[in-house]
Amino acid sequence: MSNTTDIRALSKDELITKLTALEEQPFRAKQIYEWIWKKSAVDFEEMTNLSKSLREKLKAHFVIHPITVYKVQRSNDGTVKSVFQLYDKHIIEGVLIPTEDRATACVSSQVGCSLTCSFCATGFLKRERNLNADEIYDQVVLLNRQAHESVGRGLSNIVFMGMGEPLLNYSNVLDAIEKITSEEGLNMAAKRITVSTAGIAKMIKKLADDGVKFNLALSLHAADDEKRNTIMPINEHNTIEALVEALIYFQSKCKGEVTFEYILLDNVNDTIEDAKKLVEICQRLEDVKINVIEYNKIDQAAFVKSTVEKREKFIDYLSRNRVIANVRKSRGKDIDAACGQLANKG
């Protein structure tokens, strides 16, 4: 057995098999699993209810690759951005967003991103690799600790809105969420988790078939194919019609909330005609809300955020047509931690 085996990559059954080969009792797997996923142990010496000899065996045959905090930046508004280093020296970013009644962790799912959304700094990075489930889990653990230190309470919400496209790392993202929500793991409520996607229709349908219990957010950002193709090239193979059909299917199978994310770009997607098309999309779904997002400037693009007047007219049209729209206030802009700004500058 090689000592390069990552113990956190093993299922409980696989761990039992490995331990049996080491002449250990199967019940030890449950103890180890609890240390790893419930108590978030990252060193075998922390596993104090295991014998010294077993801990030595574990060190000889397995490894744990925890992510580490490389750098922390604190915004004037209380937002905290962390640069995390992975075992292979790649870096990713995660954000803690505290408010009066919430503490939200924004986590990444990939190193870089393969999509090229023109308003997003991450889209200008090369996708290096997918994150493993334990690397996603570790972000939640570390941001939860930061929440306790910063605001005196743990995380209330988790959003997969950091670096990367979660549905292009499907199995690892779902595995991480299982560890985060399981009673054998962190035991956080699935309804407090939102996975945000740029829109991959077949994978949204797979979420439905897998009966996921978390919430889904679709980064829509334009209500017709011509405009969406221009700012989000993924739309060329995942048209709005295909996405709406996938969301209808998702809602027929799952109880999680569906939200549209919509960044208002001046003279791009912020007219009343755009709002009208958005209403028409929403009317085809059972229940959907809109998060209207202020555009946060990035060096790589020349977009300008919509004026307050245009934004208010846009939201008023949605409201008058019975579409719930909320303005999502940008947080952490001064440290490049706001929506669309994560670019590994740290």
pLDDT on residue 182: 97
pLDDT at residue number 31? 97
Closest residue by Cα to residue 220 from 172, 259, 180, 177 = 259
Q: What are the tokens at 30? A: 């449950």
| Eight-class DSSP state of 118 | T
**What's the CA angle centered on 99, arms 185 and 124, to 5 degrees?**
75
Q: Is 339 a catalytic residue?
A: yes
Residues across the chain: 346
Q: Which helix (H) or strand (E) holds 73?
A: strand 68-74
Determine contact, residues 108/117, Cβ cutoff 8 Å: no
Which residue among the candidates 24, 93, 135, 165 is catalytic per the annotation? 93
* Cα–Cα distance for residue pair 59/318, rounded to 1 Å: 58
CB contact set of 238 (below 8 Å; sequence gap of 6+): 199, 200, 201
pLDDT classification of 77: cutoffs 50, 70, 90: confident
Q: Is the pLDDT of residue 294 over 80?
A: yes
Instruction: Classify strands 193-197 and 157-160 as parallel, antiparallel or unpaired.
Output: parallel
Return the pLDDT at 333.
59
Q: What is the mean pLDDT of residues 125-145?
A: 95
Q: What is the mean pLDDT of the chain?
A: 92
Residue 246 has a CB neighbour count (10 Å cut-off) of: 23
Smallest CA-to-CA distance from 28 within 1, 61, 55 is with 55
pLDDT surpasses 70 at 116: yes
pLDDT in tens, 207-265: 999 999 999 999 999 999 999 999 999 999 999 999 999 999 999 999 889 999 999 99
333 CB-contact burial (10 Å; exposed 0-12 / middle 13-18 / buried 19+): middle
Average pLDDT over residues 83-105: 95
* Cβ-contact 115, 124 below 8 angstroms: no
* Alpha carbon distance 70, 80 (integer Å): 13
Mean pLDDT score, 24-53: 96
pLDDT at 135 over 80: yes
DSSP H stretches of helix in the chain: 12-21, 27-33, 52-61, 133-151, 170-181, 201-209, 225-231, 240-253, 272-282, 308-320
Contact between 4 and 10 (Cβ < 8 Å): no
DSSP label at 298? -
Taking the C-alpha atoms of residue 123 and residue 164, their distance in angstroms, rounded to an integer, is: 8
pLDDT at residue 1, as a whole number: 43
Residue 290: left (phi > 0), alpha (psi -120 to 50), or beta?
Answer: beta
Active-site option among 106, 113, 282, 339: 339
> What is the Cα Rg of the chain in Å?
21
Mean pLDDT of 58-83: 94
Going along the chain from its start, the domains and CATH numbers come out as: 5-63 (1.10.150.530), 68-335 (3.20.20.70)
